[in-house]
Amino acid sequence: MSFWTELREKLAADPQRPRYHFLPPANWMNDPNGPIFWKGKYHLFYQHNPYAPFHGGRSGTMHWGHAVSKDLVYWTHLPIALAPTPGGPDKDGVYSGCCVDNDGVPTIIYTGVSPEVQCIATSDDDMITWKKYSENPVINSPPIGMAVTGFRDPCVWREDDGWYMLIGSGIKGIGGAALLYKSKDLINWEYLHPLYVGEKERTGTMWECPDFFPLGEKYVLLVSTLGTTLYFVGTYTDHKFRPEAQGNMDFGGYFYAARSMVDDKGRRILFGWIKEGRSAAAQWASGWSGVQALPRLLSLREDGTLNIEPVPELKALQSEHHRYEDIHVTPSSSSLLEDIQGDCIEIEAELNLGDAKEFGLKVRSSPGDAEETLIFYNREKKSLNVNRERSSLYPDVSREIQKGPIELANGENLKLHIFIDRSVVEVFANGRVCLTSRIYPSRVDSLGIGLFARGGSATLKSMSIWEIKSIWQ
Ligand code: DQQ
């Protein structure tokens, strides 16, 4: 059997490998790159090492993978879009960037390494093959005289008087920065000024993967701070951004390098890389690493923060449905549901905390609870929690408890929208807190779903659970 056939069979049989989240055919994936709606279809590029399940740093491993979808649900793999060119400015890796429609010519703007320079590539066959610009790089250094912590991951958009670009950076000693450039032709770029600079103590020393877009009456800046993707909502006039609200795109610590696109319905859709929570050796042994989060729909809330929900198209994957209403849960009645279990499921639940201190769900629970993952609200701490202390009997997986702050208004119920896809858990709470997690149960019978309350009793107002189909044929 050939190496690739053997790998394909191993991946197909792997109980940790998600079935309805986008993944490359094998090996490594990280950042989403250049998502764009083009001729009626959603195109997603991504950082990809097609040869092995590790990033490879600046050793020439990083490519742009490519996939297309009609509906944000089912994806078709396309040929690799960009590979490092030996001897070229991206010889050590084709790093992150964006894709724009230049009057009918799809154009990728990306970072080549090393050093970090900005390059472009175009396609004349509807994005199947790509040609790098012969005079790359189009920007060969950070602004003269500026001491920066990095210079990568361009985000480009068009205004009435030309193209604008943000480059992820940081000003040494000060903090992460998004540097603003301007161009008439995507080739000759003039540096203007930092669009926004953070404070290193609060928002880190380096901002990767900036993303900037209008949303309703406001503008949103996303930055990835070498750990977390943050958002700022504010105003944008005279090419100056003035933030009015700030938040965390996801509190789990696994969702990173998020990038967005606008579709033909004017919707702002977000993609993000979900990292692994298992050892490098386990990733190597499995033959794959990295998952794309479910596409998320962004809108503005009345208080000026972001509302984040999974795109409604995902309903197409729902199969068998189970419905529960008005279940009173006490510490002694906490138990697993008898009529459903699974590792590829969606749950929509509305919970009234009653007088419980903690109330929530158990998922991927084995008989006897040797393995279980708890997703719950803590009243005192006003937090959404994912407790992974007993998610897996494997020794080399992350187990720390993840927390996201969420204050419920008087009389407001907790509304959880949860997606379990084998080793991936995505939790959306009341549209305002997202928490993505990774769990790797070792037992084939860790499939139970249940309710629990601690320190008092609570009511499950309603809950729908669906079994979810695979996105691959
Ligand atoms: N990943 C890319 C960089 C980017 C980082 C390299 C963020 O361009 O800064 O794979 O995860």
Q: Using the mean position of ligand 1's atoms as its centre, give its distance from the Cα of residue 55 in Å.
A: 10
Residue 238: per-residue pLDDT: 94
- Pocket of ligand 1 contains residue 63 by CB under 6 Å: no
User: Tokens representing 102?
Assistant: 């230049």
- Which is the closest atom of ligand 1 to the Cα of 224? 7
Residue 215: per-residue pLDDT: 98
Residue 194 to residue 154: CA distance in whole angstroms: 13
- Pocket of ligand 1 contains residue 30 by CB under 6 Å: yes
User: Tokens representing 427?
Assistant: 């939790």
Beta-strand pair 27-38/288-289: parallel
HSE, side-chain direction, 13 A CA sphere, residue 139: 27
Q: Of 259, 292, 272, 322, which Cα lies nearest the Cα of 99? A: 259
Note whether 68 and 79 are within 8 A (CB). Answer: no
pTM of the model: 0.97
The pick from 27, 28, 30 for probing ligand 1's pocket by mutation, whose C-beta has the most ligand atoms within 8 angstroms, reads 30
- Pocket of ligand 1 contains residue 111 by CB under 6 Å: yes
The pick from 153, 228, 229 for probing ligand 1's pocket by mutation, whose C-beta has the most ligand atoms within 8 angstroms, reads 153
Residue 2: per-residue pLDDT: 85
Active site residues: 31
- Pocket of ligand 1 contains residue 208 by CB under 6 Å: yes
- Which is the closest atom of ligand 1 to the Cα of 113? 8
Burial grade of 266 (CB within 10 A; 0-12, 13-18, 19 or more) = exposed
Q: Using the mean position of ligand 1's atoms as its centre, give its distance from the Cα of residue 206 in Å.
A: 12
pLDDT of the chain, 473 residues: tens digit per residue: 788 888 889 999 999 999 999 999 999 999 999 999 999 999 999 999 999 999 999 999 999 999 999 999 999 999 999 999 999 999 999 999 999 999 999 999 999 999 999 999 999 999 999 999 999 999 999 999 999 999 999 999 999 999 999 999 999 999 999 999 999 999 999 999 999 999 999 999 999 999 999 999 999 999 999 999 999 999 999 999 999 999 999 999 999 999 999 999 999 999 999 999 999 999 999 999 999 999 999 999 999 999 999 999 999 999 999 999 999 999 998 788 999 999 999 999 999 999 999 999 999 999 988 999 999 999 999 999 999 999 999 999 999 999 999 999 988 999 999 999 999 999 999 999 999 999 999 999 999 999 999 999 999 999 999 999 999 97
- Pocket of ligand 1 contains residue 257 by CB under 6 Å: yes
Q: Using the mean position of ligand 1's atoms as its centre, give its distance from the Cα of residue 71 in Å.
A: 27
Strand, helix or coil at 403? strand
Residues in Cβ contact with 288 at an 8 Å cutoff, skipping those fewer than 6 apart: 11, 14, 17, 23, 24, 26, 27, 28, 53
SS (HEC) of 301-331: CCCCCEEEEECHHHHHHEEEEEEEEEEEECC
Beta strands in 92-204 (DSSP E): 93-102, 105-113, 117-122, 131-132, 148-159, 162-171, 175-183, 189-197
Helical H segments across 243-354, by residue range: 280-286
Note whether 95 and 82 are within 8 A (CB). Answer: no
- Pocket of ligand 1 contains residue 29 by CB under 6 Å: no
Q: Helix, strand, coil: what percent of the chain each, to 5?
A: 5, 55, 40
Q: Using the mean position of ligand 1's atoms as its centre, give its distance from the Cα of residue 42 in Å.
A: 22
Q: Using the mean position of ligand 1's atoms as its centre, give its distance from the Cα of residue 226 in Å.
A: 9
- Pocket of ligand 1 contains residue 96 by CB under 6 Å: yes
Residues in Cβ contact with 12 at an 8 Å cutoff, skipping those fewer than 6 apart: none
Cα of first residue to Cα of last residue in the chain, in angstroms, is 23
Residue 1: per-residue pLDDT: 75
The protein residue whose alpha carbon is closest to atom 6 in ligand 1 is 95
Q: Using the mean position of ligand 1's atoms as its centre, give its distance from the Cα of residue 352 in Å.
A: 41
Q: Of 243, 450, 250, which Cα lies nearest the Cα of 341? A: 450
